[in-house]
């Protein structure tokens, strides 16, 4: 076989590989057509010791985050995501980073599951907006990774 022929075959083979990789996009069955992080499920309890259990979570940016928040106390509690710079001594529902990243106030023993899209990479706070709770320490850390 001539060198030209070998080179031509190599180019053809490469072209076929590129077509196979790049062309499949929308019509392959299921699977990896959506790029991006896998969905994340988190479980938190709000406690009358003015703490969350667990106290922190870490998720990838852009992930669909489902939070199952249970009020494990006798008082009302909620779970709300706010910017790291938010003053926890004066936090209200209006400070929510996004309305969907808030459980709403949950009665004792009740729970709520809600879903939001993880924001850009960085550090955020989880706060309880019930009067006095965040100032008493009911604040968690929510880390979003690249």
Nearer to Cu ion, 125 or 133 (CB): 133
Q: Which is nearer to Cu ion, 52 or 116 (CB)?
A: 52
Min. distance of Cβ 34 from Cu ion in angstroms?
Answer: 36
Query: Which among 52, 49, 54, 53 is positioned nearest to 75, based on CA atoms?
Result: 49
Dist. CA 13–CA 15, nearest whole Å: 5
Residues near Cu ion (CB under 5 A): 77, 128, 130, 133, 138
Q: Which tokens is 139 given?
A: 């604040």
Q: What are the residues whose beta carbons fall under 8 Å from the beta carbon of 66, sequence distance 6 or more? A: 39, 40, 41, 42, 113, 114, 115
CB nearer to Cu ion: give 65 or 138.
Answer: 138
Count of C-beta atoms within a 10 Å radius of residue 74: 11
Nearest to Cu ion of 67, 128 (CB atom): 128
Query: Shortest distance, CB of residue 20 to Cu ion, whole angstroms?
Result: 55
Smallest separation (angstroms) from Cu ion to the CB of 130: 4
Q: How far is the CB of 43 from Cu ion (least distance, A)?
A: 17
């Amino acid at each position: 076989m001539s060198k030209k022929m070998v080179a031509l075959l190599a180019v053809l083979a490469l072209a076929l590989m590129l077509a196979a990789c790049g062309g499949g996009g929308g019509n392959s069955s299921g699977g990896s057509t959506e790029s991006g992080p896998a969905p994340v499920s988190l479980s938190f309890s709000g406690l009358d010791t003015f703490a969350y259990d667990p106290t922190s979570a870490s998720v990838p940016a852009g992930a669909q985050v489902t939070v199952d928040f249970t009020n494990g106390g006798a008082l009302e509690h909620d779970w709300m995501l706010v910017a790291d710079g938010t003053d926890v001594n004066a936090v209200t529902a209006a400070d929510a980073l996004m309305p969907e990243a808030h459980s709403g106030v949950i009665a004792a023993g009740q729970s709520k599951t809600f879903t939001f899209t993880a924001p850009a990479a960085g550090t955020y706070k989880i706060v309880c907006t019930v009067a006095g709770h965040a100032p008493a320490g009911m604040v968690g850390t929510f880390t979003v990774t690249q």
